[in-house]
Amino acid sequence: MENLDIARTLTLLADLLEIQGANPFRIRAYRTAVNTVNGLSKPLHSMVEAGEDLTALPGVGKNVASHIVELLGTGTIGRLEEVEAEIPRTLAELMALDGVGPKKAKRLFDELGVRTVQDLDDALEAKKVEGLEGFGVRSAEKIRVAIAEHRQHTGRFRIDEVEKLIAGLLSHVADAPGAERVEVAGSLRRRKETIGDVDILVQCRGDGTPVTEHFVAFEGAARAESAGPTKGSIVLHSGLQVDLRVVPPASFGAALVYFTGSKDHNVAIRTRAVRERLRVNEWGVFRVPEGVDPETLGKDEGERLAGETEEGVYESLGMRWVPPVLRESRGEIEASREGTLPRLVELGDIRGDLQMHSTWSDGNTSIEEMARACAGLGYEYLAVTDHSQAMAMVQGLTPERARAQWEEVAEVRKLVPEIEILTSAEVDILKHGELDLPDDILDVLDLVVISVHSLMDQDRKTMTDRVLRAMAHPSVDILAHPTGRRINRREPFELDVEAVLEAAAEHSVAVELNANPRRLDLNEVHVHRAKDLGVPVVISTDAHSPAGLMDMRFGVDQARRGWLEASDVLNTRPLSEFRAWLGRRSS
């Protein structure tokens, strides 16, 4: 099992214990351990095999360590089976629904016999839910919407989850006899935010059977679906399906184009090829002889023009190579032909991170630790954006605490002089668009970041007016995670994004692309629109620890999918230019 599989199992146990009403300290211990497991770069199975003491890991006690060892050895945890005898594991899925917490899940189970999402949907249809204590008509409707949203995401994994799930598999495939080159294709290569399944290509000369046999023998596979001379398929313990294709060198580039997709991009390429009496498939690019019906030719028949490299495939069609992130049939074919493809922003272009949290609110580490971590990444500046006072559950900053934090920032500036630390805050947008800190605080901050964290069920007009009013405040610099979505967990709230982006252009406010792979908000379509309108985009991690700073690459990938160049991204600017932008209203 990969670390993510272990983390999911421990999370399931914690969720079921919470539904059961178990000791909250025990539940918290499991969740703390999950955070540790998710942050590990080393596989737990290798640590166990090496005899390492898992209790040396932060937040992993003897009880949890024994569970991990048991899980790796047997594929299950005895304690989980005990809890499942009383609480069906399917109830944990209910907790993922907006509006259903552990207590409500237990009540639905005890009083209505609800065990699954489908059971809950049936109970809603029969109007049984709204009569339960603690629910009501509005709550029932909210749950109904949550179920519809949940079903849209079933079977899809976040990109960060997939990377963790297949890390060991990729190393395993690379060791296959005869494997010369291994590449990930499909939506993962295009860096989509969620992935349904994974495609892997292996370059091999001759018979590919040893490669596919090695592939399906992967210890992390829950089952093998198929295996043959050129392809194989397995399903991991997480439920993620992985398909493998074995390709000869002469066709590897063509196969990489074909299996990377997208489907619409491939259709556009084939349409262009037909006009030139060419055929494009996973075997290569072929010229169709005069007078010959292309339908009568085999897959690799005709005069081969290209196939070994992706560049060659595109060149044979009179095009420049198209970066995988752009292959969505959104104008990249025309731009490739005309030589106007953008020079996409790269991770190395980022000069600073403009949203992160410290122990002053819900962060896990001090301002000094975050500053040193940012300096270690070569950044020129960072903004400490702890929550404002409306977020009382995480000790959001009152005006008094904000002033106290400034004193600490001043001290840390002396301790870490190699990086500029900006005073800032993530200021809540309140119900009617008011900001959660007074003007005398906002005026002093180096950077004002605003966002919505409450009343996310407002209707489209109310929410849009609320955000527009907040953006019009003269102190505002950045609108953070504008649509409030949580990938696979919470849909964007109702918001006229076009109106918001137009207002951002009018008021000279930047919009954030939140790089946390749980958010990636704005999405690539909205990011592209921001570019069209000339609205600066900020790629920030929203990190709560130094490890969270590493999420920047997911934000950069999303920006690239939105066609952004370095000049479109505000925090690619050197400190002097960024400070000049901050002074835009006073100039």
Q: Is 119 exposed, middle or buried (0-12, 13-18, 19+ CB in 10 A)?
A: middle
Give the highest mean pLDDT range of 105-119, 122-136, 443-457: 443-457
CA dihedral 409, 414, 419, 420 (to 10 degrees): 50
Cα separation values, 164 from 14, 37, 57, 71, 521, Å = 21, 11, 19, 18, 21
Q: What is the pTM of this model?
A: 0.85
Residue 52 has pLDDT above 60, yes or no: yes
Residues 198-206 have a mean pLDDT of 96
Q: Are strands 197-203 and 181-184 parallel, antiparallel or unpaired?
A: antiparallel
Q: Which domains does the chain have, with CATH numbers?
A: 3-153 (1.10.150.110), 157-247 (3.30.460.10), 252-338 (3.30.210.10), 347-582 (3.20.20.140)
* pLDDT tens-place string over residues 322-340: 999 999 999 999 999 999 9
pLDDT of residue 297: 72
* pLDDT tens-place string over residues 209-267: 999 999 999 988 999 998 899 999 999 988 899 999 999 999 999 999 999 999 999 99
pLDDT of residue 295: 67
pLDDT of residue 488: 87
* pLDDT tens-place string over residues 6-40: 999 999 999 999 999 999 999 999 999 998 998 88
pLDDT of residue 133: 86
Q: Give the residue ranges of DSSP H helices in 416-448.
A: 439-442
CA 568/CA 562 separation, integer angstroms: 11
Instruction: Indicate the pLDDT class of residue 489, thresholds 50, 70 and 90.
Output: confident
* pLDDT tens-place string over residues 550-582: 999 999 999 999 999 999 999 999 999 999 999
CA dihedral 223, 224, 225, 227 (to 10 degrees): 180
pLDDT of residue 41: 79
CA 513/CA 515 separation, integer angstroms: 6
Length of the chain: 587
pLDDT of residue 85: 92
Q: Strand, coil or helix: what is 576?
A: helix
CA 28/CA 11 separation, integer angstroms: 10
pLDDT of residue 38: 84
Which residue do the tokens 């095009």 mark?
A: 319
Residues 105-129 have a mean pLDDT of 91
| Mean pLDDT for the chain overall | 94
Q: List the structure tokens of 327.
A: 């292959």
